[in-house]
Amino acid sequence: MIGVLERSRLIVTVGTGGVGKTTIAAALGIAAARRGRRALVLTIDPARALAGALGLTGLAAEGEPVPAAALTAAGLHLPVPLDAAMLDQRAAWDAFVRRHAPTPAHAAALLGNRIYQALSTSFAGSTEYMALEEMSRHVDSGRYDLVIVDTPPAAHALDFVSAPDRIAPLVERGVVAALARPAGAAGALARFVARRIEGAAGGRTLGELATFFAALEALVDAAAARARHARAMLRAPGTAFVLVAAPRASLLAETGALAAQLAAAAAPLAAVIVNRAQPPVDAALAVAPTLATIADAAARTWLAERWDDAVAATAAERAALARLAEVVPASLPVVAVTELPRDLQPLRALGAISDQLATTPSVTAIHA
């Protein structure tokens, strides 16, 4: 993992929901800052917990340094500041419109459109598209050696990578233009389709829809150029994808498939991090005589069941890790991060995870 932290300009964490992508992104930021790199952690989630853990009251769209006092109190002595930022989707859209509209009047027309206001943040790929926009804006700002992006909790973890490709057909084939002026669409079939959509959308709304699409059209070239820029950035040397997974056998197929899909999309996968592994216990340990010394029957039963749970968890996670090492390329580091005591102060916990990320040997290396 250290090589990735020292070489990359952009790290993108991907994975299914609930595996701890945000935590890993923050811990990678701490690990990078420890190595003297100016890093920004950009999260997409309304990650109030992350803000709290980093000693911030909230996260803004522009990077804000994690307070030095909070870091010191958690025993973290970073040679350079660490910044954190969060995507505010609505504000990002509005700012995008203002930046790229050809005139202030164009921007005002779109920002004031009822359809834009009601639905601009909810069309397919909208979150991913704005996340990409903010990612490239921060990377291009030159303020950071490394930007770490925590991807949106999408139904499909690869939506983020494919977002530029999905917006491309819309903006590059005159679709917006045709929807704005159905009667002027080229070809009989195009006019038929446009009329059908017109009929479906209904009378008064169509006017607003046309205004929306017309106003959008002025932004299309900018949006297409930005999408191409983000697409190239995701595949550039210096970009590394980190796949975050849970140590569960049932998710192995998904993790293996994700790794394959990233490879197919030419996205440079640098490591798999298996998060929140349980501290392993030794199943061979003879605990029965010790358990028998517990006088209280309820306490004895409770602890015996917890021990059995821990043994089952250790076996299940070990099997999952061994099989994971088989489904990903042998050259890919697979690092297991052990869940920390839950009563640990959040920023200390992030520091401990960053230690684990930097120092834990790869499972693939162990098995090799």
Partner 1 sequence: MARALHVVTGKGGVGKSTVAAALAIGLAGTGRRVLAIELGHAAGLCRTLATRPMAPGAIAPVLTTPGLAVAYFDGAVALAEYLTRRMRLGRLGRAVMAHPLYRGFVAAAPGVQALLAMGKIRDELVLQRLGDGPRWDALVVDAGASGHALEHLRMPAAAAATFTGGLVHREAEVNARLLADPAVTAVHVVATPEDLPIAEATQVIATLRALGLPIGALFVNQCRPAPPAGVDAMIAALGARGDAPGAALAAVARRAAIAAAEQEAALVGLPAAAAVTRLPRRWLADDAALARSLAPAVLAAAEAAP
Kindly identify the residues of this chain, within the stretch 322-351, that bind partner 1 according to CB under 8 A.
341-343
For residue 263, the minimal CB distance to partner 1 (Å) is 19
User: Under the criterion CB under 8 A, does residue 318 sit at the interface with partner 1?
Assistant: no
For residue 133, the minimal CB distance to partner 1 (Å) is 15
Alpha carbon distance 69, 75 (integer Å): 10
Q: Which of 61, 108, 111, 175 binds partner 1 (CB under 8 A)?
A: 175
- 274 beta partners: 245, 336
CB 254 within 8 A of CB 327: no
For residue 200, the minimal CB distance to partner 1 (Å) is 4
User: Under the criterion CB under 8 A, does residue 292 sit at the interface with partner 1?
Assistant: no
For residue 293, the minimal CB distance to partner 1 (Å) is 8
Query: Which stretch, 16-24, 63-71, 102-110, 132-140, contacts partner 1 (CB under 8 A)?
Result: 16-24
Q: Which of 103, 122, 142, 266 binds partner 1 (CB under 8 A)?
A: 122
User: Under the criterion CB under 8 A, does residue 254 sit at the interface with partner 1?
Assistant: yes
For residue 294, the minimal CB distance to partner 1 (Å) is 6
Angle (deg, nearest 10), helices 89-100 and 126-140? 70
User: Under the criterion CB under 8 A, does residue 305 sit at the interface with partner 1?
Assistant: yes
DSSP symbol at 140: H
Q: Which of 75, 192, 232, 238 binds partner 1 (CB under 8 A)?
A: 192
Max CA separation in the chain (angstroms):
87
Alpha carbon distance 205, 361 (integer Å): 59
For residue 80, the minimal CB distance to partner 1 (Å) is 29
- 3 state SS for 227-241: HHHHHHHHCCCCEEE
Query: Which stretch, 27-35, 133-141, 264-272, 293-301, contacts partner 1 (CB under 8 A)?
Result: 293-301
Query: Which stretch, 104-112, 121-129, 134-142, 264-272, contacts partner 1 (CB under 8 A)?
Result: 121-129
In the complex with partner 1, the residue whose CB is nearer, 220 or 240, is: 220
Sheet with 10-14, edge to edge strand ranges: 64-65, 82-86, 39-43, 146-150, 10-14, 239-245, 269-277, 334-338
* Cα torsion 1, 24, 135, 50: sign: negative
CB 40 within 8 A of CB 270: no
Angle (deg, nearest 10), helices 126-140 and 203-234? 40
User: Under the criterion CB under 8 A, does residue 167 sit at the interface with partner 1?
Assistant: yes
User: Under the criterion CB under 8 A, does residue 264 sit at the interface with partner 1?
Assistant: no
Identify which of 32, 39, 23 has the alpha carbon closest to the alpha carbon of residue 273: 23
Q: Which of 95, 210, 260, 287 binds partner 1 (CB under 8 A)?
A: 287
User: Under the criterion CB under 8 A, does residue 200 sit at the interface with partner 1?
Assistant: yes
For residue 177, the minimal CB distance to partner 1 (Å) is 10
Alpha carbon distance 113, 94 (integer Å): 12
Alpha carbon distance 61, 88 (integer Å): 6
User: Under the criterion CB under 8 A, does residue 365 sit at the interface with partner 1?
Assistant: no
For residue 124, the minimal CB distance to partner 1 (Å) is 5
Q: Can you read off the two tokens belonging to residue 331?
A: 């050259």
| Exposed / middle / buried, residue 321 (Cβ in 10 Å: 0-12, 13-18, 19+) | buried
Write each residue from 51 to 90 as x if it is in contact with partner 1 (CB under 8 A), else as -, in one continuous string: ----------------------------------------
In the complex with partner 1, the residue whose CB is nearer, 179 or 269, is: 179
User: Under the criterion CB under 8 A, does residue 114 sit at the interface with partner 1?
Assistant: yes
User: Under the criterion CB under 8 A, does residue 260 sit at the interface with partner 1?
Assistant: no
